[in-house]
Amino acid sequence: MSLPQSTIKPSLFNQIAVLIFFRLLLNTARRFAYPFAPVLSRELQVSLGAITSMIATVQFTSLLGVFSGPVADRMGNRRLMRAGLAMLAVGMLICGLITSYWPVFLGLVLAALGKTVFDPAAQSFIGRHVPYVRRGRVIGLVETSWAGATLIGVPLIALVIDNFGISSAFFVFAVLSALSWLAVPRFFPADRPAAASTAGRQSIVKIFSELAKNRSAMGMLAFGFFVSLANDNLFVVYGVWFEHRFLVSIVTLGFSAMAIGLAELCGEALTALFVDRLGKKRAVIIGLIVTALSYLLLPIIAQSILVAMIGMFLIFLFFEFTIVSSFSLSTEIMPDSRATMMAGFYATAGIGRLIGVVAGGMLWQAGGITTICVVSAFFTLLALFSVLFGLRGWRSDPEG
C-alpha cells in the first residue's frame, strides 16, 4: 500500500501520516460521545435526552462548514487546519475545566466546529499536492481515521475514563490537540502565493454562485445528500430492529457497532487499494448499485442475528467504499475552489444525515425494517442518478 515515489514527493509521506493522526484525534472527539452518552448523563447530572440533544447539535455544526471552505481557499489550508485544531483544544479544555452541562455543551460544539473547519482544508491540501491518478489511494488511507476512531480512539478513551474519569479524557484531547496545533508548521509549509487559486481573490458570494452554476458540482452535492440520508435512515434504527427482532443484549449491540467499524475500515482500505485502478467515477457508480441492492436484500435474508449482522457489515462496507471514493472525485470538480467544494459536500451530506435520522424514526413506526430498507435503496438510486446526470461528459481521470 506504499505510494509511488515517482509521482509523490518523499516529504508527503510524513504529511499524510500526520494528517491521519490529526483526523483520528478529531474523529474520536466527534464520535466518543455516542457510546459514552450514559456516562456523560451521570457525570453532568442531566437526562439522557439532554445528552442526545447535545449530540444532535454537534452534528448540526457540519452544516456550518460550508462557510469555512471559501475561507480556506482565500487564506490557505494550513491556517484553517491550525484553526480547527485550536478549536478542538479550547473546546475540550472548557469541557475538562467546568464539568457542568452548558460548558460541556459549548465545549463539544466548539470542538465539533474544529473538525468542520479542518476537514475541507485537509482535503483541499491533498487535492492540491497529490496527483489525481493517485489521490484515491491517499484519501482512502487518510479516511481510515474515521473507522480508527471507533476501533482505536474510542477504546483508548474508554480506558482513560474508566481509570481517571471523564474530565481526564477531555484534558487528554486538549493536550494532544494543542501539541498537534504546534506541530502543523513543522509538517505543512505556508501556502505559497504562487499556488493561490483565483478563488482566493473572489468574494464568497461569487464562489458559491459559480458552484451553483456548475452541473458537476451540484450533481456531487446532491449525491452526498441522498446517499447520506439513505445510510442514516437505516443506521438510526438498526439497534431497535436488532432488539425487537432478535432480542439481543447490549453486549451484542456493542459487537454490532464494532462490526460496523470494521466494515468502514474495510471500505476505506478497498478504496485505497482499488479506486485509482478502477477509476473514481466508475467506483462510485458501482458502489451505489451494490449498496442499493444490499439495502433491498437485507430484510429478505436477515432471518437470524448472524445473517443480519453480515448484511449490515456489507451495507456499511459498500457505503464507505462509495463515499470515500467520491471524495477523490469531488476534489477535482472545481480545482480552483477545492475547499469550497468539499465544504459544500460535507454540508449537504450533513443535511442528508439529519433528515435521515428524523425520517428513520418515522418510517420505522410506519412500516418497520422493510420500509426502511426500500426507502434507503430509493435514495441511493437517486444518488446514482445525481452522479450520472451531474458528471455526464465530465472526465479528468483517464481511467474514469
Alpha helices in the chain (DSSP H): 11-31, 37-44, 48-60, 65-75, 77-97, 101-129, 132-148, 154-164, 166-187, 204-213, 215-235, 238-246, 250-278, 280-301, 305-330, 338-390
| pLDDT of 234 over the 50 cut | yes
Same fold across 1-196 and 203-395: yes
What angle separates helix 280-301 from helix 215-235, to the nearest 10 degrees?
Answer: 20
* Averaged pLDDT for residues 228-246: 88
What does the pLDDT look like over 197-229, one tens digit per residue? 444 445 556 666 777 889 999 999 999 999 999
* pLDDT score, position 400: 44
* pLDDT score, position 206: 65
| pLDDT of 2 over the 50 cut | no
Nearest to 116 by CA among 193, 183, 33, 60: 60
Torsion, Cα of 283, 263, 269, 271 (10° steps): 10
Give the long-range contacts of residues 171-175, CB within 8 A, separation 24 or more: 171/92, 171/93, 171/96, 173/25, 173/28, 173/29, 173/88, 173/89, 173/92, 173/111, 174/89, 174/90, 174/92, 174/93, 174/96
What CATH number labels 203-395?
1.20.1250.20
* Averaged pLDDT for residues 166-179: 96
Nearest to 331 by CA among 104, 46, 129, 173: 129
* pLDDT score, position 67: 75
* pLDDT score, position 87: 97
Residue 396's φ and ψ, nearest 5 degrees, are: -125, -40
What does the pLDDT look like over 328-359, one tens digit per residue? 899 889 887 888 888 889 889 988 988 887 88
Q: Provide the residue type at 87 as one letter.
A: M
Interatomic CA distance for residues 117 and 83, integer angstroms = 7
Interatomic CA distance for residues 252 and 169, integer angstroms = 26
For the record, the C-alpha cell of 336 comes out as: 480552483
Question: Taking the domains of the chain in order of start, what are their residue ranges?
Answer: 1-196, 203-395
| pLDDT of 168 over the 50 cut | yes
Share of the chain above pLDDT 90, in %: 52
* pLDDT score, position 205: 64
In which band, very low, low, confident or very high, does the pLDDT at 251 lie, cut at 50, 70 and 90? low
Give the number of other CB atoms < 10 A from CB of residue 55.
16
Interatomic CA distance for residues 119 and 138, integer angstroms = 14
Q: Is 35 helix (H, G, I), strand (E, B) or coil?
A: coil
Q: Could you name the CATH architecture of 1-196?
A: Up-down Bundle (1.20)
Tell me how far the alpha carbon of residue 141 is from its chain's centroid.
13
* pLDDT score, position 398: 44
* pLDDT score, position 4: 46
Interatomic CA distance for residues 110 and 100, integer angstroms = 16
* Averaged pLDDT for residues 20-34: 91
The answer to whether the beta carbons of residues 132 and 397 sit under 8 Å apart is yes
* Average pLDDT in the chain: 87
The answer to whether the beta carbons of residues 313 and 260 sit under 8 Å apart is yes
The answer to whether the beta carbons of residues 7 and 134 sit under 8 Å apart is yes
| pLDDT of 316 over the 60 cut | yes
* pLDDT score, position 134: 87
* pLDDT score, position 3: 46
What does the pLDDT look like over 114-153, one tens digit per residue? 999 999 899 889 988 899 888 999 999 999 998 898 888 8
Interatomic CA distance for residues 347 and 60, integer angstroms = 9
Give the number of other CB atoms < 10 A from CB of residue 108.
25
Torsion, Cα of 105, 51, 119, 145 (10° steps): 130
Ranked by mean pLDDT, the top range of 154-158, 212-216, 283-287 is: 283-287
- Name the least confident of 14-18, 154-158, 296-300: 154-158
